[in-house]
Amino acid sequence: MKYGMKDIAKKANVSLTTVSLVLNNKESRISTQKKQEIKRIAKEMNYQPNSAAVLLSKQISYNIGLIVPDITNPFFTELTQFINRQLRQNGYFTLFVDSGNSYLGEKQAIENMISRGVDGILLVPSSEFFSADQAEVETMFKNAGKPIILLNASTDMDISYVNFNNVEGAMMATQELIDHGHRNIAFIKGKDHLVNAQERYQGYKKGLEKNQLPFRKALVFEGDYSSNSGYQLAPQILKQSAITAILSSNDLMLFGLIKWSKEQGVDIFNRFSMVGFDNTPYTEIIEVPLTTIDQDAEKMSEDAIKMLLKKIKGKHDVTEKIIIQPRLIRRKSVKFI
């Protein structure tokens, strides 16, 4: 039989409030003798506190919301796995939502998670997130009543975030190709509204400028970060015979380019040196392992969780911004010209 506080109060001949004060170790004028008696009765009755009620009284759920724009993207899949594992190690559970790369989806997810009592939210923003009214976004974050941290994105808004140095990453990639003798370097950029796209484009241009090489708009091709967009751009890129190297804003668009080339019988790896961005898991197992810019998803998740837990514990109410340095992973897709 399961006994509750009412049963203990009845047997000890005290009020329910008295039992609650004693079992929750609250300060009171109850005598030591009476406290010992109440605890003895609770032990005899094998009393187990209602964990949900305890958490409710402490206004903590040990649940963290995680929102990503597209779980089919290998980088977000890896990031989600790291976050889930590290939250478990800290005693928290993950409530996961794929926003469908939609600002509306993010708003609905945040509202739903807050109504379910999460202690905080980690948000990997969609492409639409930065197109929304900034005042509306900041108000939504402030009214949430719980800390929300952005991952994989930077912003001038009064919002805490953890992101990579995308400008530096693209400069490193451009430099790698230049160091191997390449001067006609094509760049596959993401559309301007896509997260981190402009920073990576800026890094490519800065890399050229640093080496006194001219920027040529004709060598820039625009995709949407999907492998299909790389597939669609392939004929345009291969048409330009002067191009000897390709830098892509992410690995996926290069995968699409490689797929098209295989279907057409083109030896893409012999034709071009190539560098990607994200170091997704497949970069190591394709026909010629891909040189790419590594964004340490594990480091990002560690920093974001550390920041979020500090805010949950009320230790930091100021906006924090962390920028992680990327690194170049050299494999076999870059060769001397």
* Strand 245-248 relative to strand 93-98, pairing: unpaired
55: confidence class by pLDDT, cuts 50, 70, 90: low
112: in domain: yes
For the chain, what is the mean pLDDT? Answer: 93
- The answer to whether the CB of 288 falls within 8 A of the CB of 332 is yes
User: Does one domain contain both 191 and 209?
Assistant: yes
56: confidence class by pLDDT, cuts 50, 70, 90: low
335: in domain: no
User: Does one domain contain both 306 and 276?
Assistant: no
User: Does one domain contain both 189 and 285?
Assistant: yes
Q: Is the dihedral of CA 313, 316, 318, 322 positive or negative?
A: negative
Per-residue confidence (pLDDT) for residue 110, from 0 to 100: 96
198: in domain: yes
Total domain count, the chain: 3
Q: CATH number of the domain that 192 lies in?
A: 3.40.50.2300
User: Does one domain contain both 45 and 108?
Assistant: no
332: in domain: no
User: Does one domain contain both 199 and 285?
Assistant: yes
227: in domain: yes
Residue length of the chain: 337
Which residue range(s) make up the domain with 41? 5-49
- The answer to whether the CB of 261 falls within 8 A of the CB of 201 is no
Q: CA–CA distance from 126 to each of 71, 99, 195, 327, 332 (Å)?
A: 12, 8, 7, 24, 32
Mean pLDDT over 16-21 rounds to: 86
pLDDT digits (tens, 9 = 90+) for 78-122: 999 999 999 999 999 999 999 999 999 999 999 999 988 899 999
